[in-house]
Amino acid sequence: MTTPTRPARVRARVPRQADVKLAVRWGIRQGLPAVGMKLGARSGDLFARLNADPALQKDPFPLYAQIRAQGDVVPGRYVYTAARYGVVSELLKSDAFRSGVPDEALPAPLRRALAWAIDPRAQPFTERPAMIMTNGAEHLRLRKVASRGFTPKAIDNLRLRTIEIADHLLDELDEAKHRDGSPADLVEEYANLLPVLVIAEVLGVPAKLQETFLGWGDRILQIAAFGVPFRTFLDIEDCLREMNTWLLGHFDYLRANPGENLLSRMVAASDAENATGNGLTETELMANAGLLLFAGFETTVNLIGSGALRLLAHPDQAKLLRDEPERWRNAIDEMLRLDGPAQFTVRHSQVATELRGVPVPKLRMIICLLAGANRDPAVFADPDRFDITRANARDHLALGAGVHFCLGASLARLEGEVALSRLFERFPNLAAAGAPTLGPNAALRGYIQVPATLGLG
What SS3 class is residue 407?
Answer: coil
How many CB atoms are closer than 10 A to CB 252?
A: 11
- Identify residue 396 by its one-letter amino acid code: H
CB of 291 or CB of 367, closer to ligand HEM:
291
Contact status: 439 vs ligand HEM (CB under 6 A): no
| Cα–Cα distance measured from residue 263 to residue 243, given in angstroms and rounded to the nearest whole number | 15
Among 22, 34, 41, 131, binds ligand HEM (CB under 6 A): 131
CB atoms within 10 A of CB 385: 11
- For ligand HEM, which residue of 143, 178, 337, 445 counts as binding (CB under 6 A)? 143
Q: How far is the CB of 448 from ligand HEM (least distance, A)?
A: 16
Question: Which of 135, 300, 343, 421 is the binder for ligand HEM (CB under 6 A)?
Answer: 300
296 binds ligand HEM (CB under 6 A): yes
| Helices 282-313 + 409-426 axis angle, to 10 | 30
In three-state secondary structure terms, 80 is: strand
Note whether 444 binds ligand HEM by CB under 6 A.
no
The residue (of 38 and 161) whose beta carbon lies closer to ligand HEM is 161
Q: Which is nearer to ligand HEM, 78 or 344 (CB)?
A: 344
Q: Considering only 61-69, 320-328, 397-405, 417-425, which stretch makes contact with ligand HEM by CB under 6 A?
A: 397-405
407 near ligand HEM, judged by CB under 6 A: yes
Of 146 and 430, nearer to ligand HEM (C-beta) is: 146
* 355 contributes a contact to ligand HEM by CB under 6 A: no
Longest CA–CA separation in the chain, Å: 99
The CA distances from residue 110 to 38, 99, 113, 116, in Å, are 20, 20, 5, 10
Q: Determine phi and psi for 360, rounding to 5 degrees.
A: -120, 115
Element (H, E) at 366: strand 365-368
Candidates 303, 418, 450, 452; binder of ligand HEM (CB under 6 A) is 303
User: Should residue 87 be labelled a site residue for ligand HEM when binding is judged by CB under 6 A?
Assistant: no
Q: Does 193 bind ligand HEM (CB under 6 A)?
A: no
**How many residues of this chain bind ligand HEM (CB under 6 A)?**
26
Cβ-contact 65, 349 below 8 angstroms: no
Sole window of 23-31, 52-60, 222-230, 396-404 interacting with ligand HEM (rule: CB under 6 A): 396-404
Binding part of the chain for ligand HEM, among 39-47, 340-348, 377-385, 429-437 by CB under 6 A, reads 340-348
Could you give the count of Cα atoms lying within 13 Å of 165 in the half-sphere of its Cβ?
26
Which residue from 202, 183, 199, 337 is spatially nearest to 262, judged by alpha carbons? 202
Q: Is 341 in the site for ligand HEM (CB under 6 A)?
A: yes
CB of 335 to ligand HEM, least distance (A): 9
User: Does position 410 bind ligand HEM by CB under 6 A?
Assistant: no
CA–CA dist 376, 84 (Å, integer) = 6
57 or 345: whose CB is closer to ligand HEM?
A: 345
Beta strands per DSSP E along 272-357: 345-349, 353-355
Residue 36, interface with ligand HEM (CB under 6 A)?
Answer: no
Q: Taking the CB of residue 181, how many other CB atoms lie within 10 A of it?
A: 11
End-to-end CA distance of the chain: give it in Å, rounded: 89
Name which position in 399, 420, 442, 450 contacts ligand HEM (CB under 6 A): 399
Taking contact as CB under 6 A, which single stretch among the options 67-75, 273-281, 349-357, 392-400 is the one that binds ligand HEM? 392-400
Is residue 412 a contact point for ligand HEM (CB under 6 A)? yes
Q: Is 369 in the site for ligand HEM (CB under 6 A)?
A: no
Q: Out of 342, 360, 432, 454, which residue is the one contacting ligand HEM (CB under 6 A)?
A: 342
Output the CA torsion sign for 283, 144, 419, 436.
positive
Tell me the Ramachandran region of residue 62: left when phi exceeds 0, alpha when psi lies from -120 to 50, beta otherwise: alpha
The single residue among 74, 197, 292, 338 that binds ligand HEM, judged by CB under 6 A, is 292
How far is the CA of 444 from the CAs of 178, 221, 447, in angstroms? Answer: 30, 8, 10
| Contact predicate 74/397, CB 8 Å | no
Residue 299 touches ligand HEM, criterion: CB under 6 A: yes
Paired strand residues for 348: 98, 365
Say whether residue 158 binds ligand HEM (CB under 6 A): no
Residues 6+ apart with CB under 8 A from 139: 99, 131, 403, 404
Q: Is 400 in the site for ligand HEM (CB under 6 A)?
A: yes
Q: Does 81 engage in binding with ligand HEM (CB under 6 A)? A: no
Q: Considering the rule CB under 6 A, would residue 291 count as an interface residue with ligand HEM?
A: yes
Cα–Cα distance measured from residue 207 to residue 187, given in angstroms and rounded to the nearest whole number:
18
Binding site for ligand HEM (CB under 6 A): 92, 99, 131-132, 143, 291-292, 295-296, 299-300, 303, 340-342, 345, 370, 398-400, 404, 406-408, 411-412
